Structure 1
Amino acid sequence: MGDILYIVVPCYNEEEVLPETARRLKEKMEHLIAAGRISEESRVLFVNDGSRDKTWSMIEGLHRADRRFSGVNLTRNRGHQNALLAGLMTAKDRADMVISMDADLQDDIDAVDAMVEQYYAGCDIVYGVRSSREKDTFFKRFTAEGFYRVMNFLGAETVFNHADYRLMSKRALEGLAQFKEVNLFLRGIVPMIGYTTGTVEYERGERFAGESKYPLKKMLSFAMEGITSLSTKPIRYITVLGFLVFVVSILMLIYSIVRWANGETVIGWASVICSVWAIGGLILLALGVIGEYIGKIYLETKERPRFLIKEVLDQHEGD
């Protein structure tokens, strides 16, 4: 008999896709159990992130009909990363390995087999990585790949073309539990854990139903959250920029003195105005970036809970 696997699926207003997601995940579970790769005690754990539709009542119905389905109901909407963490921490004490994935069926469920194989080969963390973005529009491909490159350039180390589709062993989850950040960016935190890692490439499909929870505006906010939560490089870059502007100003001062000594009048109110606006813009930019970090410090010092669980549905033999 294999180890216990939990598949954690955060859900926010997923009533349109949930029945199909449950059906496919159940088929995958039964296949792996029949092959002896995972235990009969393995579960699919849906996490309801304060959905406003029938998502939680559907999860309750799935649990009543089949104990293979478990559920976690948060007290209110806490966002994808917090909901995912709630599921991971709930599964940590129940499973030997946990796979996280989204409910929209864009992640290839068949990649689960390869992840489990790498787990048995000694990997504590296995990343699901997109093999290509040929199906994406040029704009989507450009912005998505730019997202990863900018994140890495600014110090938030992530796995290229990896979202939140990954396998983690129990000890990797125990390592994750030691990270106490209130501002969560799991794509950057998980690589910090260490241990042996592996990757599985898969072809990402179209969303089965419903609307994307990550439009461009939210992706930009998500990127800012990740950068300011994991790296101080933006502040360092501002320091370097400030130093360069200072050097340029000294050079301009020397140039002006030399021209004045030669009896040449410097007429250039336009350049002065441009300089004032440029310096003013840099100052506001610097204050904004520093403000982001101060805001993060403010939230961290409060030590508010990252999530609160209202109810857990998880039935096992003998319960």
Structure 2
Amino acid sequence: MQQVKGVIARAKDAPVELVTINVPDPGPGEAVVTIQACGVCHTDLHYRQGGINDEFPFLLGHEAAGIVEAVGDGVTEVAPGDFVVLNWRAVCGECRACKRGDLQYCFATHNAKQKMTLEDGTELSPALGIGAFIEKTLVAAGQCTKVDPDARPAAAGLLGCGVMAGIGAAINTGALTRGRSAAVIGCGGVGVAAVAGAALAGASPIIAVDIDPAKLEAARKMGATHTVDSSQTDPVEEIKRICAETYEGAEGADVVIEAVGRPETWKQAFYARDLAGTVVLVGVPTPDMEVPELPLIDVFGRGGALKSSWYGDCLPSRDFPMLIDLYRQGRLDLDAFVTEEIGIEDVEAAFEKMHHGDVLRSVVVL
């Protein structure tokens, strides 16, 4: 066992604390990873606010990259010294999704069996089964994805959640390709990543929608061909207009990605898609939100698909190395998502900046 420093949320809405944490030696199927960088994601704030569950205290942080320090018995996928991006989808290989070849939909993803604890023995609940605002963390070995060690940790770690969710919503869930149009409603970190994914897929036009000029500018830098300030313009009508200019007869975008997670914007996405188009919900709603009322004839008459995208429907072993290669080639600007690098003691201040929309990502560098 080792003792290291980490950031916890002890109670609902309480300020985070930097405390000493006991990290067990890795058991069978587990790995200890020295964390080099970890993004401050909105999901971590949800944990602190009690919006995920009430299993306090939480060890926060999950968008992380680092070096494998040690592995337990039976681990073959990674070895000490490997540079890895952590993921919250260690697939089981045995469930019905895995057995039919859909590993990205694994119904039995798993985490480390042992618990990290406070000095008094109180067990911690690691955020998304990872817990990476810490000098070293214990995870299931399947949560470690080996990638090119020349990648910058602060950028690479963002694939662990938000950036992968957005890119995957466009490429995996939305199945965007050349000759198809895309619109993204909500241009925070996930939405801007969806814009980047649409650009990688060759979609055109790519229409970014938000009420914040700074976020719209970030989306343009990542590949948006058009931007719409929805506080000034009806986004549904503007998306339809832009797409009709490109494709004669188009009644909206082929794929509309909703990256806000609200009924109002989901309804906008529904009506902003073309006939037989696809709506992708990647924004995370709260439990009290409901699908807005829609005439059933509109659901039937427009055809197409209404999808949700969980973690960008990614398979980390397939997608992380590919995206890191694109980053190393200069074709995917992961560095653009890193607004600032901070110390582990600055997580609470980073939550405030996130709340005010001042950053795409603050990244803790250890």
TM-score (norm: length of structure 1): 0.27
Structure with bigger gyration radius = 1
